[in-house]
């Protein structure tokens, strides 16, 4: 009898995780292909994004497996979007799956690692859990920005500089800037975009996680699980 109950509980957990993964993946797809999730900026700047938020919610609520699934959907959608938009600024470089997909697989792992460390170092209560969620959401957001832009600079630094130099009037531009235009752009884009995205993630992710956790606790499997990763 106990084995049957345990089997049903595990099956219920698997179904719940599948549903949550599917739901968040669908949200990622909608956000990726609409201005809601990809806020257009003037070329050659990349779009500001909120698409990483469902990925962070997935990993902080259901763990690394669901986080990886949703992160993979984010990366694939970003890859498809880059081909749909054509030759538009930094979006061009997201046609390379190393830039569009790989970072989105690493982001949930980094956020989950930070979450595990936080739970081990800090005694958990309602307040510290929200602080930890906000902190891990910020770490995941920074990882997304740094990995994507860092890989662009590492792999396509020369091509990016050439592209930007073609868009800049060389008459009054400083030679030091022109020779390193790609790196300058990555820094200029990464800092303000990263800060803005961190703030948004730090506010939204804890709110969503709290709501989802409350729903999960009402289910039999959630109560038995104690809602721990």
Winning range, highest mean pLDDT, from 16-25, 101-110, 175-184, 199-208? 101-110
Percentage with pLDDT > 70 across the chain: 69
Beta bridge partners of 38: 49
Q: Any idea where the domains of the chain sit in the sequence?
A: 2-40+49-223
Q: What CATH class is the domain 2-40+49-223?
A: mainly alpha
Higher local confidence (pLDDT), 142 or 156: 142
pTM: 0.79
Using one digit for the tens of pLDDT, what is the confidence trace for 163-214? 666 655 544 445 444 455 555 566 656 677 778 788 888 889 999 888 888 8
Of 104, 133, 105, 131, the C-alpha closest to 229 is: 133
């Amino acid at each position: 009898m106990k084995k049957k109950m345990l089997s049903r509980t595990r099956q219920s957990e698997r179904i719940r995780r599948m549903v949550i993964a599917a739901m968040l993946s669908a949200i990622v797809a909608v956000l990726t292909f609409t201005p809601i999730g990809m806020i257009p900026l003037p070329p050659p700047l990349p779009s500001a994004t909120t698409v990483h938020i469902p990925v962070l919610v997935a990993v902080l609520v259901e763990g690394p497996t669901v986080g990886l699934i949703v992160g993979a959907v984010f990366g694939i959608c970003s890859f498809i979007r880059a081909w749909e938009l054509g030759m538009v600024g930094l979006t061009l470089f997201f046609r390379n799956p190393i830039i569009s997909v790989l970072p989105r697989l690493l982001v949930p792992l980094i956020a989950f690692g930070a979450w595990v460390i936080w739970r081990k170092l800090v005694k958990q209560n309602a307040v510290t859990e929200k602080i930890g969620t906000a902190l891990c959401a910020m770490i995941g957001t920074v990882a997304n920005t740094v990995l994507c832009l860092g890989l662009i600079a590492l792999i396509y630094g020369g091509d990016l500089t050439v592209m930007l130099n073609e868009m800049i009037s060389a008459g009054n531009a400083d030679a030091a800037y022109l020779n390193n235009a790609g790196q300058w752009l990555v820094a200029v884009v990464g800092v303000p975009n990263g800060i803005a995205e961190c703030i948004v993630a730090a506010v939204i992710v804890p709110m969503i996680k709290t709501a989802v956790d409350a729903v999960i606790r009402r289910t039999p499997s959630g109560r038995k699980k104690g809602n721990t990763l």
